[in-house]
Structure formats: C-alpha cells, structure tokens
Amino acid sequence: MKVVKYSEAEYPQVVERLVNRREVDFGAQDETVRAILAAVREEGDAALLRFTNQFDRTQYGAEDLEVTPDEIKAAYSQVSPAELDALKLAAERIRSYHEKQKQDSWNYRDGETGLGQMIRPLEVAGLYVPGGKAAYPSSVLMNAIPARVAGVDTLVMCSPTPDTQTSPHSLVAADLAGVDRIFKVGGAQAVAAMALGTETIPRVDKIVGPGNIYVALAKRLVFGLVDIDMIAGPSEILVVADDSARPEFVAADLLSQAEHDEEAVPLLVTCSAELAGAVAEELDRQKKKLKRQAIINESLNNKCHLVVTESLDEAVDLANRIAPEHLELAVADPQALVPRIRNAGAIFIGHFTPEAIGDYLAGPNHVLPTSGTARFSSPLGVYDFVKKTSLIECTRESLRGLGEACQTLAQMESLDAHANAVKIRLEGGNL
C-alpha cells in the first residue's frame, strides 16, 4: 500500500489492471468439479452422501441430510436475545426494501390486438450458504428474502456441516426468512444436487449464494440447466473523498473490506494528498487492533491503492471506469455526485454511511456485482426470482391489419411457412 498520484507515469498501468481485472481462473479445479457433477447426475443421493461424508468428515445417511424442525428449534436456544433481535431487525428492513421492487403484470390493447406481459415467480429456488463454524446469517437473509417476496413457491437451502457443526445463527436466519427446506450438504456436490435433483434434494430453477472456488465453478457449469445469480469475484470498495473526509472513517471502511480475504480490493481515490497520507497512517494504526491481521496485511500490501487525483471530477471519472462493487462518497456534497455515478453496485452517501451498514441491515441487497461487472449488472433483487412472459392476442380483424406486413417480412427472410401461417387465416380458413 502506498500513496500514488494518478498523473504519475507508471500509474495508468495499475489503473488499467483495476479496470480490466479478470475473472477467477478455474483451471486447476475444473476436472474435480466436472467429476462431482457427473457422479451426482449418475448416482444421485449415493454420490451426494459419498462426497459429503468425505469432504465434511461426517457419517450421514440419506435420512440425516435434511435439517429437522427440532434442530431449528434447538438453534434458537443457542442464539442470544440481542442476536435474535438484530436478525429480526435486519430481516424486517431487508423485506421492507425488497417489497418496493415487486412488479405487476400488465396488458393493453393496440387497436384490436391485445398485448401484455405476465410476471410469475420461479417455482423452486436454491440458496447456497457457506457453513460449519463460520456463520453467515446475513447472506441467508439477503438471498432468501427477495425470493420469498417474489413469491417463489419453494425455497431450498444447502449449507455444509463440517464435522457435523451447524451454525445456529444461519438456521435461525433461514427460519426468519421463510426457507422451506434446509440440507446439510455443501460444495460442488450441493450445487449439483440442486441443479440436477436427487432422491432427497429437489431440482431448483435458480441457484443463488456465495461459496468457494468449487462452488463458483459448479454454478458456472450448471448454468443453462438452471439459472444462477452471478460468479462473484473478490470483495471491493472504492472511496471517493475530498478534504472534508475524516481519515479514521475512510481507513475503517477500507479495512472492513480488507478483512474479507487476501484478494479483497480496498481503494481510495481522492483529490487531497493530505487526506491520502492521513488515511495511510490510520490504516497502519487501526489494523493492529483487528483480529484478522494476516488477511488484512495481505490485502493491503497487494491490492490496496490510495490514489491522488488532480480534481474531484477526475476521481469520479476514475470511479466510473473501475465500476466498484461498493462505492462510498465521502465528500462535502455527496448528493451532487450521485447523478454522476454511472457504474457501481451500491453507493454509500456521506460521511456517516459506512459500507458495513449495507452489508447487514440498511435494506438494499448486499449481493452486488464485482470485478467491474457493475457496468452491466445489478444487485440481487426480487426481479431475479421472477420470469416474464409476453402475451399476444389477435382477432380476425387485427390479424387482417397486420398480416400483409407480416407476410412481407417473412418472405424477406425466405420463411414461406411463416407467411403461410398468416395467409391461411386471412384467406378464410375455418377458425
């Protein structure tokens, strides 16, 4: 980590690497994941149990795979009142926000022709949640609640239980979010089971949720059999700041991303060289008090950039080029910049809006496009769990009005059967 002026000769190459950062290389894991998918396709539960017991060091039979109501009840007893209140508050706020995203079917008449769009929820959605000792209840809420708001009929969740350890917080979050069925399986085998279906786990229409490189590759390989949310890259934050920003706030937010993993990308883009220097000092001071110092140091040493631009305009332009997952506007007049942001997964406006509040309970989804895909992608939402069907209804009269042009277009493409399907009706076929 060092402070660098954007105008320096060598720095444009660094920026280009940030702008054009590539997807994860799956080469080493490809053969393993393909073998797991093939085995689950051929053997169903037998393969699922074999891989689960091997990788998670369990001794499950098919009857052990699904979490029971008693296990969910027991999970509540392991969650403190303060934790339960926080989960309920987060669930309430996430649900309230996503309710605003619901869309209605619509139709209208163009003369005698009826046209419209029918919106229907997916029938079955699958949620993958990392498990074991690690607890990611926020991921459960963020992925499950939009599906439930969308009206998905059945919501299935898979989460590994290494050494049979289950996260009570994730189970409680799943119950609060309205997950219907929870299974104690993880990894590529869980993705395969949800995509293909087994004797125990139902086939789903879409798989969402984060995971390791094996999960990400499995999701990529089953895409087409089912839909997926995205192939997420490392977490990233970009803070656009001017001299009104408080360096301790900015440093704290950069560290909140650096602690995710060694590949996390914390960026500061500022028109104030003085602020950049102060943030560098704060990073060094604050990181010494944090638990995940090894991970943080790796991220700061290899991925963190503190960029000094000539102006705030230049900082905004650079932010739009990078298209970050999380964008903070730590400036004196943040609302003036919001309309100028074209590419960002989520925008955190003002000095008192830390990115962490969006991770947990502000309301908007924390599943966001990474690796520059905010140029063309959106956060996970209710719209990801519905499908849209076009509606067309012609009367004899409206077909007569449109038929001649339709036949002409079909003949332009040498598709005479298309033209005939219109012509036979216009010439008085028995209807």
Are 213 and 233 in contact by the 8 Å Cβ rule? The answer is no
Q: Is pLDDT above 90 for 13?
A: no
Q: Which residues pair with 389 in a beta bridge?
A: 118
* Segment holding 13, helix H or strand E: helix 11-19
Over the stretch 122-162, which tens digit does the pLDDT of each residue have? 999 999 999 865 678 999 999 999 999 999 999 999 999 99
Mean pLDDT of 254-260: 95
Query: Tell me, what amino acid is at 174?
Result: A
Q: Which residues pair with 386 in a beta bridge?
A: 121
Please enumerate, as own/partner, the contacts of 41-47 that have beta carbons within 8 Å and a separation of 24 or more. 41/192, 41/196, 44/198, 44/199, 45/198, 45/199, 45/200, 47/189
* CA separation for the pair 67, 157 (Å, rounded): 10
Q: Is pLDDT above 60 for 431?
A: no
Phi then psi dihedrals of residue 42, to 5 deg: -80, -40
Mean pLDDT, the chain, whole residue set: 93
Which range, of 95-109, 294-308, 346-360, averages the lowest pLDDT?
294-308
* CA separation for the pair 32, 40 (Å, rounded): 13
Spans of all domains in the chain: 3-23+233-362, 27-100+121-228, 394-426
Are 266 and 254 in contact by the 8 Å Cβ rule? The answer is yes
Are 273 and 6 in contact by the 8 Å Cβ rule? The answer is no
Catalytic residues, which ones? 325-326
Class (C level, CATH) for 27-100+121-228? alpha beta
Fold identical between 3-23+233-362 and 27-100+121-228? Answer: yes
CA atoms in the 13 A half-sphere facing the CB of 234:
21
Query: How would DSSP label each residue in 367-396?
Result: ----TTGGGT-----GGGGEEEEEEEE--H
Number of residues written out for the chain:
431
Q: Is pLDDT above 80 for 48?
A: yes
Q: Is pLDDT above 60 for 430?
A: no
Contacts of 141 (CB under 8 A, 6+ apart): 87, 90, 91, 94, 173, 176, 177
Fold of 3-23+233-362: Rossmann fold (3.40.50)
Phi then psi dihedrals of residue 326, to 5 deg: -115, 130
Are 129 and 156 in contact by the 8 Å Cβ rule? The answer is no
* Segment holding 211, helix H or strand E: none
- Running DSSP on this structure, what letter comes out for residue 66? B
Cα–chain center distance at 137: 15
Mean pLDDT of 306-328: 95
Neighbour-count burial of 363, counting CB atoms closer than 10 A to its CB (0-12 exposed, 13-18 middle, 19+ buried) = middle
Over the stretch 273-297, which tens digit does the pLDDT of each residue have? 999 999 999 999 999 999 999 999 9
- 245 against 25, higher pLDDT: 245
The 10 Å Cβ neighbour count of residue 4 is 16
* CA separation for the pair 353, 355 (Å, rounded): 6
Mean pLDDT of 360-366: 97
